[in-house]
Amino acid sequence: MTKRAVAYARVSTEDQAEHGYSLPSQLEACREYIAERGWQIAAEVSDDGVSGASLDRPGLDRIRGMAEAGEIDALVVYDLDRLSRKAVYQMLLEDEFGKAGVKVRYVLGDYSDDDEGRLQKQIRAAISEFERAKFRERTERGKRSKARKGLVVGGGRIAYGYRHDGEGHLVIVEEEAHAVRLIFNWFVSDLLSIREIARRLSANGFRTYKGNLHWAKSTVSRILANETYAGTAYYNRLGRASPYGPQKVRRPREQWIAIPVPPIIDRSVWQQAQRRLEHNRKLLRGRPWHQYLLRGMLVCGECGYAYGGNYSRPTRWYRDGGRKHPDLRADVVEGKVWKSVREVLLNPATLWQGYKARDAEEAEARRSVAERLEMVLKAKHKAERKLETLTDAYVDPDIGMRKAEYSRRRHSIEKEIAGREREAADLRARIETGTITDAQIQAVEEFSAEVRKGIDLLGFAEKRNVLKMLGVRGRVRYGPDGEALIDLDGLFPDAEPGVSSNTSAHCGRR
């Protein structure tokens, strides 16, 4: 019975730099090895740009699955270090394949299945691992030298808003930089929460680093904490936790290498953002034992810090995080705010006006998304015409286009068309979900009616849920007489006095 063999090739950037390995050359050598023995090629599998120091490889996983299913009899690899850079992993894999009845063969090395052959492989694998460690050290030393000269070292993800110029410097991508400036402005000047910033970016059709239209809170947080945007990038921040694993840990700050880059925002803006982030972290670490209805919903209109709970027996207070203003009595503040919210809930028409007001605010965002959708559809139509032109050229005998060239270009265009279709579908869904429907109107009315039945019997948790559902936020300011006022924002109508989006509540203070 003819043996079924799979050819496996692997290459990483290190291999290409050190030895000039390429996937086609490895696979070609494996094919010749298989053909010389009269075996049948069951599959050709490769891992491109994947380290041999890890077992987490898509191509290798596929072969392990084929071996477990009994679909192959032999695995042919160009050399030992193509299967694994670590001696222990190489032995583990050979043992696993052996138990599945699969022989592992190497083009560069005919090792016997006895103790001597296994010893030769172990020695060869150990030498390969040692050479890799030496090469890594030389590479890292060269990168550190470049960084100290002020050059940006490649190999990692570049901060959103920048791209490499190919000569060791970062250049600003203006479309992404615009999103970065908005993020910092919303956070520092408008005092928006990170969740609200992510929602606005998504609603306005901004794309993330990976091209997604949905922004996560964690993505916004990373941008706000990244000093690159203030004009300083760092190299050598992370090091390996162990020479035997991919996990990395942060090095001491004195080992970081600062690299000047073009700033997208002023450093003072970045520093303000860091102060607010640190304040938010302190609030999370020191959450009060006592219940505060407006926790996380009040900010100082002057300094931008959030108000946190502060208990001084027997009274609860809200304290300005910037320590610039007197504390506010929690019972007075909560009573005033809840009174305004209660009036909204008791009047369904008022609540609905609030929804309409919020919808009007987002209308501009939907128009922006619609414009982007039109551009995407035009680009998709243009790509489809390119595909038609390419096909006409391929069938034209006077042009004489080779099949390989046609297949390569066709695949590239079809990939572009598919990407445009996915983006168009995402944009259409965003437009539809951003529009208030009759079903949503009914849900608002039902919610208001349900709450009205027992509005004066609601407990702390129920009230918190109501405030969150209405998107209530309060900005504390001070009148000419020094009296504290709270401007409420949320799903309130603009014109209704007393419950408008600029409602002012006088609050007790100490």
* pLDDT score recorded for residue 299: 85
Q: What is the pLDDT of residue 443?
A: 62
For 209, residues 6+ apart whose C-beta sits below 8 A from its C-beta are: 157, 160, 219
pLDDT score of 497 = 31
> Under DSSP, is residue 303 helix (H, G, I), strand (E, B) or coil?
coil
The CATH class, in words, for 4-133 is alpha beta
Residue type, 494: D
**Amino acid 186: pLDDT:** 92
Tell me whether residue 495 is exposed, middle or buried, using C-beta atoms within 10 angstroms of its C-beta: 0 to 12, 13 to 18, 19 or more: exposed
Q: How far, in Å, are 120, 144, 230, 262 from residue 115 at the CA level?
A: 9, 44, 61, 60
- According to the model, what pLDDT value does residue 257 have? 86
Other Cβ atoms within 10 Å of 34 Cβ, number:
23
- What is the model's pTM? 0.42
- pLDDT by 10-residue block (mean), the chain, 510 residues: 89 58 85 92 89 82 91 90 77 85 84 66 64 66 75 74 84 91 91 90 89 90 93 81 58 84 92 87 63 87 81 85 84 89 74 62 69 86 87 78 81 84 75 57 65 77 81 82 80 41 48
pLDDT, residue 431, reads 67
Domain boundaries defined on the chain: 4-133, 162-271, 286-347+453-507, 362-434
| CATH topology assigned to domain 162-271 | Hect, E3 ligase catalytic domain fold (3.90.1750)
- Dihedral of CA atoms 348, 352, 357, 359 in degrees, nearest 10, equals 160
